[in-house]
Structure 1
Amino acid sequence: MKKTILAFSRVSPSMLEPYADKYDIVIMSPELGDMDAQFEAALPRAHGLIGGNRRLGEVELASATNLEIISSISVGYDNYDLSYLNSRGIMLTNTPDVLNETTADLAFALILATARRIPELDAWTKDGNWTKTIDASHFGCDVHGKTLGIIGLGKIGEAIARRGRFGFGMDILYSGKTRKPKLEQELGARFVTQETLLGESDFVCPVVPLTPNTRNLISNSELAQMKPEGILINVSRGQVVDEEALIKALEAKAIRAAGLDVYVKEPLPDSRLFKLKNVVTVPHIGSATNETRNAMAQRALENLLMGLEGQWPRDLVNSQALRQ
């Protein structure tokens, strides 16, 4: 009897086609009607799930009696109830490393866009306001030669730091649990306390996973420690930053600006953030390029097939599940 794969998002039919002889494959699609209904109908017979952006825990997986593995097309896995998956022996995999460079590209795009006020001045120009030479009220700030502070110098943080150091001659500060002597030597990076990083950095980038310890990592007190001309960039998880505290800081111009790819609530059709000129907002596009999303889907598919074939997946998040 064939095992069943349920693809609930981010996987093209052509990618799964070669495996149709070995597996029963169900591919959800908006064209087939309500996505939740499709998921619930196929779930009881699914042995493997592949996709992203769906919260899965005890309630959502109650009928998934055959489930062996969830292959998430993402790096973060805070959407999944690990304790529950472990208790049932369900493997969870993710797609680390594939999106490091692309996400770092976006972080730097937000750094440049906020510093030079690109979206604001683009809209101002297109609205017909450029009738004379601009004055200081339209000036931005330099990026080159400034100080870039990275909270959590993991793979993505390192990629951002490289762009800053070698592309823009920036001084690099970092904080976190682990010191990185090799990167300190290569990047001229300085390991400091988070308080020092906030106070000395022109650009502050938290690049950490969402955990109980990192939720609201940047809140009122941390924003108050930043320079008045400091800029906050968030490409990690929305909940890492206290959104209400950030809005108040931006409204009061306690910091210069913010560049955001992630939010407490997603999707976000309306927000007070959207009314502020000193914030650049994009809709969680950190990995959203054709090349990277295809690479992520391929990596996730490899993980899925390894798990279904009784092998240890390359990117297994919860080895505890195999000990049940």
Structure 2
Amino acid sequence: MFSQLNKIFVHCRLPKKELEILKKNFLLKIHHSKNIVLNEDEFFIKAKGFNGIISQGNVINKNFIKANKNSLKAISNVGVGYDNIDIDAATKSGVAVFNTPNLMNGAVADLTLGLILSVVRKICLGNKFVKDRKWKGNSWDLFWGESLQSEKIGIIGLGNIGKEVALRARSFGLEVFYHNRNILNNSTEKKYKVKYLNFDDLISRCKFIVLLLPLTKESKHLFTKKEFKKMRKDSYIINMARGKIIKETDLVDALKKNQIAGAALDVFENEPKVEKKLLTLNNVVLMPHAGSATVIARTKMMQLACNNLKNFFLKGTLDNLVNKGFK
């Protein structure tokens, strides 16, 4: 256990109860800003010299960890993914890294199906059409979309969120396939009514391709011109994972050449910057990395992030530890 006077840098919106608990046990520095993620230089300056950090998505790289090796003891990341943190550098420097798993599964799954419906049923286009007062009456071909019934959906990365997507997809009458590094056991496949396909078969056979895998060296630019050419011409790609899994310029090219039918993206290669040409395409629906953005999910995530750090410093516990090699 550590001293109760550890200094904690907080860059996220905390629930009142958790904030009061932290104030009683630590010296807090709460940085208020409109943006969830600070640029690297600003974060380097603002978060320097603290024993613990609670933040959502800020880049915590090798240089930052090395510069703070004499003070930094723990990082609590608000979110499941932690590719924004140099885990190897943290482990080597004796810094514990925590995440907040299994609290956003339903929220992300809900938005996944919402985005699929939005792009295939042209919901965003129809909404704008009505609000722009262009609707003068019904016509036979006004905003014809596509049905989900009896189509194939392929989930790349069938983890906890993917399983929730599978359950929802089945209720729409979709046949669910998946691709993982490790094939699920028979009982799990039967429970979620999913079938395994290798990568090439999945992207060539399924109408809807949903990305829910973590960003790694292997998954960066997993989708480029080569993969889009293999997909069905009537297919849609839905990215709920990390933006860098898709090479955006190649996606734009595939969309403009009608190699695929459309896309729905909650994440972007260089967010918050978005490839400009994506903004001009009517067969694309975009969201600002809001997969977990429900009141319940975000509140629970921030509560757990606080508890992870509090329990580490006050009790020495390692619940939700990411870097298993930490000592």
TM-score range, shorter chain: over 0.9
* Aligned twin of 1:150: 155
5+ long unaligned stretches in structure 2: none
Do the aligned residues in 1 keep the contact of 2:97 with 2:323 (CA within 8 Å)? yes
Report the counterpart of residue 98 of structure 1 in structure 2. 103
Distance 2:99 2:238 in 1: 24
CA distance in 2, matches of 1:64, 1:11: 26
> 1:129 deviation in Å?
2.4
**In 1, Cα distance between equivalents of 2:210 and 2:248:** 15
Q: Which residue of 2 aligns with 1:212?
A: 217
Moved over 6 A (4+): none
Pick the aligned partner of 2:133 from 128, 132, 154.
128
Give how far 1:319 is off: 2.1
Distance 1:133 1:41, change over 3 A: closer
Q: Which residue does 2:8 correspond to in 1? A: 5
Report the count of equivalent residues.
Answer: 317
Matched, 1:230 2:235: yes
Could you tell me which runs of 5 or more consecutive residues in structure 1 were left unpaired when the two chains were aligned. Answer: none
| Equivalent of residue 33 in structure 2, options 5, 13, 30 | 30
Which 10-residue stretch deviates more, 307-316 or 276-285?
307-316
Deviation at 1:189, TM superposition (A): 1.5
C-alpha displacement of 1:183 = 3.0
| Aligned pairs (5 A) from 1:61-140 | 61=65, 62-63=67-68, 65-136=70-141, 138-140=143-145
TM-score, normalising length: structure 1: 0.92
Identity %: 30
CA distance in 2, matches of 1:43, 1:209: 28
Instruction: Return the match for 1:320 from 315, 319, 325.
Output: 325
The separation in 1 between residues aligned to 2:233 and 2:259, in whole angstroms, is 5
C-alpha contact 1:107 1:233 (8 A) present in aligned 2: yes
Contact 1:10 1:52 in 2 (8 A): no
Compute the TM-score of the two structures, normalised by the length of structure 2: 0.91
Q: Tell me the distance in 2 between the aligned counterparts of 1:41 and 1:282.
A: 29
Give the SS at the match of 1:65.
coil
Partner amino acid, structure 2, of 1:59? N
**In the alignment, which residue of structure 2 is the partner of 1:19?**
22
d(CA) in 2 for partners of 1:306 and 1:300?
A: 10
Q: Secondary structure at the match of 1:70?
A: strand
The corresponding residue for 1:281 is 286
Alpha-carbon distance in structure 2 between the residues aligned to 1:14 and 1:317: 25
Question: Counterparts of 1:53-64 in structure 2 under 5 Å?
Answer: 53-61=57-65, 62-63=67-68
